[in-house]
């Protein structure tokens, strides 16, 4: 089965992940730190922005793919994917701008991420109940 909506979001999130990984590599070269981080807050924020995406994106994409394969409407999956992706972009931006500290974009990004994942989980369960109910 083809899951084109999830495929697009997986590709976009992969590009974001590579961008964040490149930022870490630049800090590693600058500080000659091949493992861990230094006390530099920008370096630490870069590592956590990347790590946070790595922690959330796989499950969100799995939920999107399951939903898409099980018949949840493509338009709904698209909008949930947009909220998730915008949330991840805002979170990364807030981490960088706030040097890991509090930042409005980081907060909004976190809320968008959690709401998108919750929505997708509910949609998947709702779809299963409707189809098998």
Domains and CATH numbers, the chain: 4-32+40-127 (1.20.120.550)
What CA–CA distance (Å, rounded) separates 110 from 128?
A: 27
Whether the predicted model's global pTM rises above the 0.75 cut? yes
Tens of pLDDT, residue by residue over 9-63, are: 999 999 999 999 999 999 999 999 888 888 999 999 999 999 999 999 999 999 9
Nearest to 77 by CA among 2, 1, 4: 4
Please report the pLDDT score of residue 91 as a whole number: 97
Residue 24 token pair: 């870490």
List pLDDT tens digits, range 50-85.
Answer: 999 999 999 999 999 999 999 999 999 999 999 999
Q: Where are the alpha helices (DSSP H) in the chain?
A: 4-31, 41-70, 74-97, 104-132
Other CB atoms within 10 A of residue 81 CB: 24
pLDDT 10s digits, 90-128: 999 999 999 889 999 999 999 999 999 999 999 999 999
Q: Is the model's pLDDT at 133 over the cut of 80?
A: no
């Amino acid at each position: 089965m083809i899951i084109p909506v999830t495929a697009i979001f997986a590709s976009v999130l992969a590009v974001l992940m590579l961008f964040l990984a490149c930022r870490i590599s630049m800090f590693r070269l600058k500080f000659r730190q091949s493992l861990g981080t230094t006390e530099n807050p920008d370096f630490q924020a870069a590592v956590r922005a990347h790590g946070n995406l790595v922690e959330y994106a796989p499950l969100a994409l799995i939920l999107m793919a399951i939903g898409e394969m099980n018949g949840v409407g493509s338009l709904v999956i698209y909008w949930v994917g947009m909220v998730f992706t915008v949330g991840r972009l805002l979170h990364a931006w807030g981490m960088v701008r706030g040097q890991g500290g509090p930042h409005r974009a980081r907060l909004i990004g976190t809320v968008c991420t959690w709401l998108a994942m919750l929505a997708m989980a509910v949609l998947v369960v709702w779809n299963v109940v409707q189809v098998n109910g």
